[in-house]
Amino acid sequence: MSSSSLQVDPIADDTPLHPLDIVRDILREAESLPRLMEVHYLAQEPGLIEIMRGLIALPDDERFRLQHYLACRRSRRLHVRETQNGALIIEGVDETRRDDGA
């Protein structure tokens, strides 16, 4: 959260936070109601929270590499495959190529 955010520790402060103050702070961080709604709807996707937790746990340099990879391929579909040794590989799908496996 930014330095302008409401930063009150409810354990250290006896003043309870009002739910509206919390919602206002979340909206301020999201920067717009449409963006807040997008985050809300995305959070409803099955498994997405677990995926985000895993991504957040990545070291900063690896997370940056993944973010850069995804940003460069924003308009392309992705495919995930598992190797024989259990590694997952994320690949951009070349939709101009004919899929002979279908």
- pLDDT, tens digit, 9 for 90 and up, residues 57-79: 999 999 999 999 888 877 788 88
Q: Tell me, yes or no, whether 88 lies in a domain.
A: yes
Distance in angstroms (rounded) separating the CA atoms of residues 2 and 18: 20
Q: Give residue 37's Cα distance to chain centre.
A: 14
Q: What percent of the chain has pLDDT over 70?
A: 79
| Domain limits for position 28 | 1-44
Question: Is there a single domain that holds both residue 65 and residue 40?
Answer: no
Q: Tell me, yes or no, whether 19 lies in a domain.
A: yes
In the prediction, which pLDDT does 91 show? 86
Q: Tell me, yes or no, whether 90 lies in a domain.
A: yes
Q: Whose structure tokens read 């340099």? A: 61
Q: Whose structure tokens read 């895993």? A: 54
In the prediction, which pLDDT does 96 show? 63
pTM for this prediction: 0.55
Residue 6 pairs in a beta bridge with none
Question: Is there a single domain that holds both residue 66 and residue 100?
Answer: yes
Distance in angstroms (rounded) separating the CA atoms of residues 78 and 47: 17
Question: Is there a single domain that holds both residue 69 and residue 40?
Answer: no
Q: Tell me, yes or no, whether 50 lies in a domain.
A: no
